[in-house]
Amino acid sequence: MLILIAGPYASGTGGDPELMAKNLRRLEEAAWPIFQAGHVPMIGEWVALPVLASAGASGPSDPLAAEVMYPTAERLLQHCDAVLRLPGASRGADQDVAIARDRGIPVYFSLDEVPAAIPAAAPTA
């Protein structure tokens, strides 16, 4: 599965880049366990931040961010198979959960809830 990791990024940071970087590292800590379970982890900021930079924005507090950050997650969710919602207040992560539920894809609230991938069957001769 392609699993979107959702949780606080800018929420509660007051735009402080160091606090946002700390939040991103927290999101990224879930990437390895998801990968080990046989899935592909995804974080919206991994896509949105380079898009924002290539548009000439100064960073996530740039006015252009409103046109990139949430829309990127919404577009990604059209390709994701599940969402892992990490704890913490986040309007964007709550929106990700709502989109996932509308699509009927699983929402996990703990890494322990993420099932191990079922290995693909070996091709027959």
CATH code, 100:
3.40.50
Q: Which domain holds residue 82?
A: 2-113
51 within some domain:
yes
- pTM for the model: 0.90
Decide if 18 is inside a domain: yes
Q: Provide the number of structural domains found in the chain.
A: 1
Is 125's pLDDT higher than 70?
Answer: no
Instruction: Examine residue 118 and state whether it is found in any structural domain, yes or no.
Output: no
- Examine residue 119 and state whether it is found in any structural domain, yes or no: no
* 125 falls within a domain: no
Q: Is the dihedral of CA 14, 25, 18, 47 positive or negative?
A: negative
Q: Give per-residue pLDDT as tens, 87-111.
A: 999 999 999 999 999 999 999 999 9
What's the CA angle centered on 40, arms 119 and 35, to 5 degrees?
75
Rounded to whole angstroms, the Cα distance separating 7 from 120 reads: 30
